């Protein structure tokens, strides 16, 4: 996987377009003058968590004795399930939460941005080729910056695109993520079948 494809994968997994509506709903109780500051703070916290996980997640894998192919297959399955939720959203299983006052750490930073899928993807990248950590860090930073730009302008984008426009874009991102998830699972199966 190249740095560019890793950045695209991480951008799709971070799902900024799908998170716009969740962010707007979570920030309803926050004064309009503070919203950008709160979003920026939460995005920085999420970035810190993801960078920390990028460098410590591999040790967790070794402690649990999880093999590379197993993680690749599991990562593909998790991404596939998340992609299905993006393509076929369900009102019954919405991640939106009612928050009184100003949100801190939960749910904006974790799990909306630094969620299980993003952490699993970072773990997967590092476990497969740990010596390429500068590329994975750059890919994460590029994906995070693109996501941050979208989420900071979330209120304006939600007004411009409307709920239907955002849902259409999220479904398109979900379709791309389905293909990436299937490819990831196939690579894991191939590695498992050819393992000694």
Signed CA dihedral, 171, 173, 178, 181: sign only: negative
Supply the pLDDT for residue 98: 59
What residues form DSSP beta bridges with 61?
none
Give the three-state DSSP class for 167.
helix
117 CA to centre of own chain: 5
Contacts of 26 by beta carbon, 8 Å cutoff, 6+ apart: 96, 97, 99, 103, 107, 108, 112
What's the rounded Cα separation, in Å, for the pair 3 and 141?
11
Supply the pLDDT for residue 95: 47
What residues form DSSP beta bridges with 91?
none
Supply the pLDDT for residue 91: 62
Quote the Cα angle for 190-195-196, to 5°.
155
Supply the pLDDT for residue 176: 83
Give the domain extent around 136.
Answer: 3-193
Give the three-state DSSP class for 96.
coil
User: pTM score, two decimals?
Assistant: 0.79
DSSP label at residue 88: S
Phi, psi of 25 (to 5 degrees): -65, -40
| Contact in structure between 77 and 193 (CB atoms under 8 Å) | no
Over its length of 196 residues, how does the chain's per-residue pLDDT go in tens digits? 899 999 999 999 898 988 888 888 888 888 988 999 999 999 999 999 999 999 998 788 788 888 778 877 887 887 788 778 878 877 654 445 556 678 888 889 998 899 877 888 898 888 888 899 999 999 999 999 999 999 999 888 888 888 888 888 888 888 888 888 888 888 888 888 887 6
Q: Where are the alpha helices (DSSP H) in the chain?
A: 3-14, 16-26, 32-64, 68-87, 116-128, 133-152, 154-193
Number of domains in the chain: 1
């Amino acid at each position: 996987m190249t740095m560019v494809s890793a950045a695209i994968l991480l951008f799709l997994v971070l799902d900024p377009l799908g998170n716009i509506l969740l962010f707007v709903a979570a920030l309803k109780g926050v004064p309009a003058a503070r919203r950008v500051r709160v979003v920026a703070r939460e995005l920085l916290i999420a970035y810190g968590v993801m960078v920390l996980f990028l460098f410590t997640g591999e040790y967790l894998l070794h402690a649990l004795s999880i093999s590379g192919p197993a993680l690749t297959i599991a990562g593909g399955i998790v991404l596939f399930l998340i992609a299905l939720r993006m393509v076929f959203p369900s009102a019954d299983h919405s991640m939106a939460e009612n928050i009184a006052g100003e949100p801190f750490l939960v749910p904006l930073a974790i799990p909306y941005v630094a969620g299980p899928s993003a952490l699993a993807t970072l773990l997967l990248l590092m476990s497969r080729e740990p010596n390429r950590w500068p590329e994975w860090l750059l890919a994460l930073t590029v994906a995070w910056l693109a996501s941050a730009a979208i989420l900071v302008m979330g209120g304006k984008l939600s007004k411009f695109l409307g709920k239907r426009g955002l849902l259409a874009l999220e479904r398109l991102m979900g379709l791309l993520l389905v293909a990436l998830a299937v490819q990831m699972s196939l690579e894991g199966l191939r590695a498992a079948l050819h393992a000694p």
